[in-house]
Amino acid sequence: MELFIPDYVENILYRLEKFGYEAFIVGGSVRDLILGKEPADFDITTNAKPEEIEEIFKEYKTILVGKEYGTVVVVQDEGNIEVTTYRLEAEYLDGRKPSKVYFSDEIEEDLSRRDFTINAMAYNKSKGLIDLFSGQKDLENKLIKTVGNPIERFEEDHLRILRAIRFATQLGFYIEEETKNSCTQMGYLLKKISAERIREELFKILLSDRPSYGIRLMEDLDILEIIIPELKETVGFDQKNPHHEKDVFEHILCVVDHTPPVLEIRLAALFHDIGKPHTLTIDEEGIGHFYGHDKLGVKMSRDILKRLRCPNEMIDDVANLIKEHMTHHADLKDKGLKRLISRVGKDKIFNLIELQKADKRCSNRNADIGFLFERERQIQRILDRNEPYEKKQLEISGYDIINLGYKEGKIVGEILEYLMERVIDEPNLNHRDILIDMVLKKFTNKAK
């Protein structure tokens, strides 16, 4: 088998070999090349020790990532390459990190510490493919299977349980039976894993082509209740409403799949209806309603995202989309849309429309979403015409108002609010002189 290795990667392999060492591309890059995909990055494994790697590449810019882990990053214009010494991991004491890393002289040992057979292959031009665990066969059969006994491998590093689901989702693969059963059996151990590591895997699942596959796998393997118990409550939750064909969980999965792969939108899709199981009321006709589920969804999603240690800005963006997700019910004219743009932000408004399109499309097979495309065009027109929708676009500031003689404080806010209201209605009023005139006429001296 011959795999195509770009020159800037081949150059590193060549140099290591020239100095008498073995060197292979390894892991995800070999897997992706065999699959005919372009690898996101190339990792190299070698029997050269970190200080030897640094010496060989002394004319290059290098970064020693962690001497004890044996990784040196070689920086080139075309991309950075991680060059790592063959290693063996000594006991994992806490299921999270190896207690000590031992360097090895054997590629076989390095491959045997890797998580899944499809990630445990190495390749170079002279030796060809090194595939000790039938990774190529598993690639053909679309199987995620641990290298060695899954119970032991998951005991060593519990995150591998979620990684199995992540790779299955990204690649559209199945998890091999024994590996799968072990995921369920050992899933509770994920509670011990840091929120950051869980989050990174979860985000990769969400950004894949079909996130529903991964979320459903989590549910099938009893992992969902460990990572996001709030979502578990939506499984099988009947909405008792003819406008909603699916139960809450199935609806959420559909919405996530129908949104573009933008993290904030996918997270908002995942959590937009998470408040529903707590807000169901049934009217006299037996129809279900979920008043306030958007508000509760904001609170619950903030708690979940905080637990996953997401940055505040991301939490605010997701919460804002969830808060506004029901606004597609309102019949908004230009004025209402400007208020919506001002609440959501001009950079995020189209994210909201994407979420709403998916939400509507997934609620009912006869749902018409044409009005959302029209709304999108209407918003674009407002933005293209540069029509003001928020106070900072007014041709007059709070400072100007104070200079007119009004007291600093509440009244300044009221005046700006009044001007904004008028300018939203009539954009032509947004001229300094006109605005000053309006202030002086409306807010007489008593306010000064």
* Chain residues in the site for ligand ATP (CB under 6 A): 27-28, 40, 43, 114-115, 119-120, 157, 159-160
d(CA 52, CA 49): 5
CB of 114 to ligand ATP, least distance (A): 4
d(CA 363, CA 254): 9
Please, which residue, 157 or 233, has the CB nearer to ligand ATP?
A: 157
Please, which residue, 115 or 257, has the CB nearer to ligand ATP?
A: 115
CB of 68 to ligand ATP, least distance (A): 16
In this chain, which residue has its C-beta nearest to ligand ATP? 28
Please, which residue, 119 or 259, has the CB nearer to ligand ATP?
A: 119
Q: How many Cα atoms occupy the beta-carbon half-sphere of 343 within 13 Å? A: 15
What stretch of H or E contains 75?
Answer: strand 71-76
- Measured over the CA atoms of residue 161, residue 164, residue 166 and residue 172, the dihedral's sign is negative
CB of 119 to ligand ATP, least distance (A): 3
> Count of CB atoms within 10 A of residue 6's CB?
12
Please, which residue, 106 or 283, has the CB nearer to ligand ATP?
A: 106
Report the chain's terminal Cα–Cα distance, integer Å: 84
CB of 297 to ligand ATP, least distance (A): 30
Find where tokens 């290298």 sit. 147
Please, which residue, 115 or 354, has the CB nearer to ligand ATP?
A: 115
- What lies within 8 Å, CB to CB, of 274 at 6+ separation is 230, 231, 233, 234, 252, 297, 300, 301, 304
Please, which residue, 43 or 230, has the CB nearer to ligand ATP?
A: 43
CB of 253 to ligand ATP, least distance (A): 23
CB of 189 to ligand ATP, least distance (A): 13
CB 26 within 8 A of CB 67: no
CB 76 within 8 A of CB 44: no
